[in-house]
Structure 1
């Protein structure tokens, strides 16, 4: 592939397969699809948590109105699972209601029964203290804590482990194992089945009572750190090339999804009961520059993200990727190896919500393309 001026670029995407032998379940899955998903950035998420729900609602409403005025199907451009175009308000799918534990707001008042989702690519989480970091430390690594007494597993896996002769033999050889039970094959199998179950309270059961992996104080320290992860200061903003790149970024329409700024509100954050008596950092009434509209869009890429809809990734701080990691991987599965590839993936399909903007980038001169990249690296 190449730009009109002859400069070449390449678009690659991951193709994955997992052999059935890798699945230690019974029965083994037969019809599976695999998608890669890179970890999301957690810097600045305390600031995103401070955006008011009404402001997010207004972003949805104004976006829906824009497409309505264009005579286009709003449900194609604004996820109908999150926005009810007829009611001009959030749809049921926009609300997060399954909090990991009871909680309250920062001012001590009772927590609402629901909150608007704003975190993760799939928009599955609404509040940082029950969000991508606080929750992921439990549901990815299974680090238990007082308010997370159950494992994030499956009954199929627990059953497979309880029927695995190698597992049973290894436990039987170690009487100190928490899964040893009465030392018989049947007793060990029962303990394994139940202690690995997602339905068993790890701290209060008849087989073995574990201690939490993370104490309440440790969880509080994690959240102080998590909410406090700041965004690096933008750089070289007075550089003429950076200023030209910003001008082009706006002219091409990139900011229609990568919304530059928001104003935080009172930041009356939700917090679980276990740390409700301890204050967390608040970010009230600040202008922030995440470059995200906090909504989902579709790019219609090859081997696309599961479900096609993907939240606009904040661009702030990403310009330091190479300095900090040695790589510039972009997009949800790191398929783009630099900013240019990331932009051109937005034009993979003419159905892409960002096709027009990416097409304009494609037709820029080499100097202007470099200016856009330099701007992205500055923020």
Structure 2
């Protein structure tokens, strides 16, 4: 039986390597066809609650020390200004979290609250849900959206003393029923969001609202080391191939590079670099200013927000008005380093016959058309990590980092840079099988509506509809094998 699955795996090996196997073998590299070392030499072998929190296996002692320093600023709470803790003051005026780890608990994935629950005014450290806001129109230069006039580009359900929270979120759900071809029933939950108790007047009648949960972070430094040429090549290859899968690159403004770059982070690939993503989260989620985002997110009508005190100025970074970012560049750099140095975890049970069967079924269903298994990284984008750490590593993230039309059921109707209201970025699959161990849940997709891998597949529409239909026709044993494969990644 094992030899049968090994034969099936060999049949699909070229597909599973994204068409790169020949050049790879000619280069003399150990092919690792099962992708057990998900991050090449950076891979760690881990399990349990701390699986996503280990540093790259190849880090040197000095880099491990820096990793620990960055970890402390990532996990500890920021406080309101003024405070005696000047290295960590400046929280708010509006915010949804007091620390990066509030949303990325144990460096893992957030989860939506239970349905039929209201969020606010105080943020829940166990819930990592935010609502993006925008209105139709032409965005300003270097912006992907037009912010809602009174509330900006996201809703903040918490605030410091003397400042009103922006509002609360009510979430309800609607059951959607269906059946597999073998008659097995399933039920999905369609969430619905409503914003109540608005603190600064009504929102624009044409406001567009899009929920987000925080993804796990292990391996994000390696994702940034994937070359732009590879991502653009994915789009060209899909455009030239037969079938419905036609991914698009999202070209976005990067505040760190101060240039337009290929987007790769965020649920709509609306962020190009980990530095921009981190600075944006500090600013939007915690109200912490930095040299990349030096302004608080207060709108013109939020008088109490505009009048609130700022945190201790960052060392030597005051502007002409005597103001300065609340997190200095050195501290900010430590937090970015910490995330970039989080290691992907090695695959589990990669040679299990059921997993091998699921791997073949994954290819048969053409899931690999979007979830490209493997890359060789380019030159690492973080000068403080030597080239041997992130550069030229064979990695297995299972993503093309492109935007895809996922159909009306998943649509948020909200454009962002070149992404339209039905497009989402293909999320990496590495680490999916460890989310339950780390975070105690299996909530997937951009808003966590899917409870596990199979539900996530059932939500696929648009370009992914043919793949979803193939899964609907699978037997129970085939579905179990497919899930076991994905959860082995």
- Within the candidate set 348, 361, 365, 1:235 is matched to 348
Is contact 1:96-1:117 (8 Å) kept? Answer: yes
1:297 Cα deviation after fit: 0.6
Q: TM-score, normalised by structure 1?
A: 0.71
Aligned to 1:149: 294
Q: Give SS of 1:57's match.
A: helix
After TM superposition, the structure 1 = structure 2 runs for residues 1-379 of structure 1, keeping only pairs within 5 Å, are 1-19=178-196, 21-25=197-201, 28-67=203-242, 77-79=246-248, 82=249, 94-100=250-256, 113-130=259-276, 132-157=277-302, 159=303, 161=304, 192=307, 203-204=318-319, 212-267=325-380, 269=381, 279-280=384-385, 282-302=389-409, 304-305=411-412, 306=414, 307-347=421-461, 352-379=462-489
| Partner SS, residue 34 of structure 1 | strand
Higher strand share: 2
Contact 1:145/1:212, CA 8 A, preserved across alignment: yes
Cα deviation for residue 204 of structure 1 reads 4.3
Is the 2:226–2:378 contact (alpha carbons within 8 Å) kept by the matching residues of 1?
Answer: yes
Using the alignment, how far apart are the partners of 1:28 and 1:339 within structure 2? 36
Distance change (3 Å), C-alpha of 1:48 and 1:363:
same
How far residue 32 of structure 1 moved from its aligned partner, in angstroms, is 3.0
For residue 193 of structure 1, report the CA deviation from its aligned partner. Answer: 9.0
Counterpart contact for 1:144–1:151, Cα < 8 Å: yes
Between the aligned partners of 2:362 and 2:450, the Cα distance in structure 1 is 19
Shift, 1:58, TM fit? 1.2
> Any unmatched runs of 5+ in structure 2?
1-177, 311-316, 415-420
Pair 52,211 (structure 1): closer, same or farther in 2 beyond 3 Å: closer
CA RMSD of aligned residues (A): 2.7
- SS of structure 1 residue aligned to 2:340: helix
Please state whether the residue corresponding to 1:115 is helix, strand or coil. strand
Q: C-alpha deviations, 1:239-258, integer Å up to 9, x for none? A: 11111111100111000001
Gaps of 5+ in 1: 83-93, 103-112, 163-190, 196-201, 272-277
**Contact 2:254/2:271 (8 A) holds in 1:** no
Q: Which of 1 and 2 has greater Rg?
A: 1
State the distance in 2 between where 1:147 and 1:365 align. 52
Counterpart CA distance in 1 for 2:429 and 2:278 is 19
Q: Secondary structure at the match of 1:332?
A: coil
Do the aligned partners of residues 115 and 147 (structure 1) sit closer, same or farther apart at CA in structure 2, a change above 3 Å counting?
closer
What CA deviation, in whole Å up to 9, does each residue of 1:77-124 have, x standing for no partner? 344xx4xxxxxxxxxxx433452576xxxxxxxxxx432222212221
SS of the aligned residue for 1:36 comes to strand
**Contact 1:45/1:227 (<8 A) preserved:** yes
Give the whole-Å Cα distance in 2 for the aligned partners of 1:213 and 1:97: 23
